Chains A and B, each alone.
Chain A
Amino acid sequence: MALHVGDKVVFKIFRYDPEKDKAPYYKDYEVEIRREGMMVLTGLNQIKWEQDPSLTYRRSCREGVCGSDGMNINGVNTVSCMSHIEDYNSNVLVIKPLPGFPIIKDLVCDFEDFFNKYYVVKPYLIEKNPPPGRERLQSIEDRERLNGLYECILCGCCSSSCPSYWADPDYLGPSAMINAARFVFDTRDEGSDERLDAVNNIHGVWRCHTILNCISACPKELNPTKAIGMLQKEILKRTY
């Protein structure tokens, strides 16, 4: 469905202010298309700046790098700054906060648990020996193994789309584990044993049931399921 400048689209937005509202509700807003290929985030900004300043959502860089604006648009988790309104082929966009996360207000979720799980995998370079020479060099081939792992922006779309993550409150989730893989398969890192120990656990890699929701949710087109599979293989390789 092609949208043209001047067309109107309805945003049906999840609203909830725990201080005022007894229960969450949906409110309709009319958004005017002002340029070709307008993003959902631009529409949200239009509502907040021109119609209803009480609408609450996170955003920062508006170009898919900061990972602040993960939300559920017409049933699909994504970041609103990378989603064209016209790609939804609909006059109505239902916008909800990320499923499975506690809601603070409107589209803003509580990420504390999500980040606690991220810190479990020690997402930083662990070095046990001083760098040889001036810096830690890496071959082009070794660096290429990190493609598809390092791009994660921690928007929470994958973990929030994962039924295992909804069911098991202790499950680390695809996001934490793709970040574990990012360091385990980095030749410069020396902490892979402790990282694999952290994910080798019934709430870690073995809780993944390859539902594959994380892959379709990831706005950066990464493959967390494959990363979890790589970790599983690495653990089995080191044990047997």
Chain B
Amino acid sequence: MMYMRGFIDRYQGSGKSGEWNWLFQRVSGAALLVLLLGHFFIEHFTGVQIDYQTVSARLASTGWKLFDLTFVVFALYHGINGIFMVIEDYVHSGWRVFWKGFFWIVGILYLVLAAITILPFKG
């Protein structure tokens, strides 16, 4: 135990085991599968013509806003958590802090971008 503790304390923050990340990578993966199939069905198989009018009308409803935001949150979590795992695999120096921080910022920026795109639609 002591053998590994030093390493984790230095880069990971004590008590962070990776258990939650592992579980939620699976949960978000399963959720993405459902959301993505829903997305495909709505966009390509319902026969509704896709142009700005219909899409903005749809996005005016709170339900669709919620659907798209959930989609974005799970996709960003799943993708960036995957990058974190690659970083943990290959980066064993202090650069790990840099790269993880970098992708935290990337994630937050994309989330803000998605929110200011989806939320303001008003019919």
A170, A202, A203, A232 pick with most chain B CB within 10 angstroms? A202
A214 to B4, CA, bound (A): 22
A164 to B86, CA, bound (A): 10
A203 to B17, CA, bound (A): 9
Q: Does B68 contact A (CB under 8 A)?
A: no
B1, B12, B16, B92 pick with most chain A CB within 10 angstroms? B1
Is the beta-carbon distance between B21 and A203 smaller than 8 angstroms? no
Partner of A235, one of B1, B19, B88, B90: B19
B 15-29 contacts with A by CB, 8 A: 16-19, 21-23
A 66-115 contacts with B by CB, 8 A: none
Partner of B18, one of A117, A164, A201: A201
Residues of A within 8 A of B1 (CB): 120, 194, 197-198
Is the beta-carbon distance between A170 and B22 smaller than 8 angstroms? no
The size class of the interface chain B forms with chain A is: 10 to 19
Q: Does B89 contact A (CB under 8 A)?
A: yes
A236 to B24, CA, bound (A): 12
Q: Does A18 contact B (CB under 8 A)?
A: no
Q: Does A6 contact B (CB under 8 A)?
A: no
CB distance from A27 to the nearest CB of B (A): 34
A113 to B19, CA, bound (A): 25
- Majority DSSP secondary structure for residues of A touching B: helix
- Majority DSSP secondary structure for residues of B touching A: helix
Number of A-B contacts (CB under 8 A): 52
Partner of A236, one of B4, B7, B18, B19: B19
Is the beta-carbon distance between A168 and B92 smaller than 8 angstroms? yes
Is the beta-carbon distance between B90 and A202 smaller than 8 angstroms? no
Residues of B within 8 A of A124 (CB): none
A172 to B3, CA, bound (A): 11
Residues of B within 8 A of A147 (CB): none
B 87-119 contacts with A by CB, 8 A: 88-90, 92
Q: Which residues of A contact B (CB under 8 A)?
A: 116-117, 120, 164, 167-170, 172, 194, 197-198, 200-204, 206-207, 209, 232, 235-236, 239
Q: Which residues of B contact A (CB under 8 A)?
A: 1, 3-4, 7-8, 12, 16-19, 21-23, 85, 88-90, 92
Could you list 25 A-B pairs, sorted by A, with CB under 8 Å?
A: A117-B3, A120-B1, A120-B3, A164-B89, A167-B89, A167-B90, A168-B88, A168-B90, A170-B7, A194-B1, A201-B8, A201-B18, A202-B8, A202-B88, A203-B4, A203-B7, A204-B4, A204-B17, A206-B18, A206-B21, A209-B85, A232-B22, A235-B19, A236-B23, A239-B19
Taking A120-B4, A206-B21 as given, write out 7 further A-B residue pairs in contact, using a Cβ cutoff of 8 Å, ordered by the A residue number: A120-B3, A168-B89, A170-B7, A203-B8, A206-B17, A207-B89, A239-B19
